[in-house]
Amino acid sequence: MVKYRSKLLVLMLLLVATADSQIAQVPGSSAATGLSGQVVDSYGQGISGARIWIIDSTGQAKETASNATGGYSMTLAPGSYTITAELSGYSFTSATVLVQTSLLSAAPRIVGYWAGPAAQAAVSPPDSGLYGQAYYATGTGTGWVQGRVMDQTGAGVPSASLNVDGWRTAYATDEQGNYRLELSPGMHIIDPFKPGYGIPPRAAFVASGRTTRLDFIAKGVVALGRGRM
């Protein structure tokens, strides 16, 4: 009887181990947190070679590219993300997705509509319009980025210079920290700068004929000088 019970116990342990092994091999059960999706045209065909922009809730952007079937994937921290794409000649929709811990999140499809070759934007002369800001670029199908640069108390930071896509512009925030820029459609990196402040750059996706709101929080930086000898 003792030998029979021992054999039965061993058999039960083997069955449990086998079941655990099968569960671990179920597709999609990986503990990795990630995101996958696809970029397609208006006919549902994958668009390859598109730049995929994945923007978190703080405005920080990560970039990847679509493969031969329009697919893409990226490992991300849990959180809410806005996704869009960029490719010459196309106008893309955007989507929002919530990435959760230990789950592979599927993003809604990004659809690209053929709009022909992209028009070249031209730099416009200074303009003292809304917020005292000149437009950074003008052309067919432009959009706008506007917002405010504030310190940690909520007060506006005046005269902060505005860099766009690594280029220094001649424009700055007004006395209340407001700014407004006109940009060509697509993804742009806005990088305000003012001595004495740390202002992280943020990404903004500009859609034709639309205004994107983008605010910045400027943190005071303490400069450490050399003491007297």
Strand 161-164 with 178-183, pairing: unpaired
Q: How far apart are CA 207 and CA 113, in angstroms?
A: 13
pLDDT at 140: 52
In the chain, where the domains are located: 34-114, 130-220
**Nearest by Cα to 165 from 200, 124, 203:** 203
Say if domain 130-220 classifies as CATH 2.60.40.1120: yes
Domain 34-114 has CATH 3.30.365.10: no
Radius of gyration of the CA atoms of the chain, in A:
26
If one counts every other C-beta atom within 10 angstroms of the C-beta of residue 57, the result is 9
Q: Please tell me the predicted confidence (pLDDT) of residue 194.
A: 94
Same fold across 34-114 and 130-220: yes
Give the pLDDT score at 167.
87
The pLDDT value given to residue 134: 35
User: Which residue numbers in the chain have pLDDT < 70?
Assistant: 1-32, 115-140, 222-229
